[in-house]
Amino acid sequence: MLFDVVFLGFPIALAVCLAGHALREQEIKFWRPAICLSAYCMFYLTGGREVLLYLVCGLIIGGAWLHVGPW
């Protein structure tokens, strides 16, 4: 599903790239975003997917109401 690719696949790839860059360059400033993205991925896998789906659906419904109106 494209939703999983965007909200899980890209952050995993970015976290791996940041961790690899931190190891190669011996820069500590790249570890924090790599760890934060890994924590986000764990949140996504443990139930965050439904939360994000509800938020996206709410934004779509809200946008439709703003465009058309509730009546």
Would you give per-residue pLDDT tens digits along the chain (71 residues)?
Answer: 788 899 899 999 999 999 999 999 998 999 999 999 999 999 999 988 899 889 999 999 998 888 887 66
- Tell me what pLDDT residue 3 has: 85
- The number of angstroms, rounded, from the C-alpha of 19 to the middle of its chain's C-alpha atoms is 17
- Tell me what pLDDT residue 9 has: 94
Predicted model pTM? 0.74
Helix (H) or strand (E) segment spanning residue 53 = helix 49-68
- Tell me what pLDDT residue 70 has: 64
- The number of angstroms, rounded, from the C-alpha of 70 to the middle of its chain's C-alpha atoms is 30
- Tell me what pLDDT residue 71 has: 66
71 CB contacts (<8 Å, ≥6 apart)? none
Q: What radius of gyration do the chain's Cα atoms show?
A: 17
Q: Tokens at residue 19, please?
A: 């961790």
Triad 56, 59, 62: Cα angle to 5°: 150
Domain boundaries, the chain: 2-68
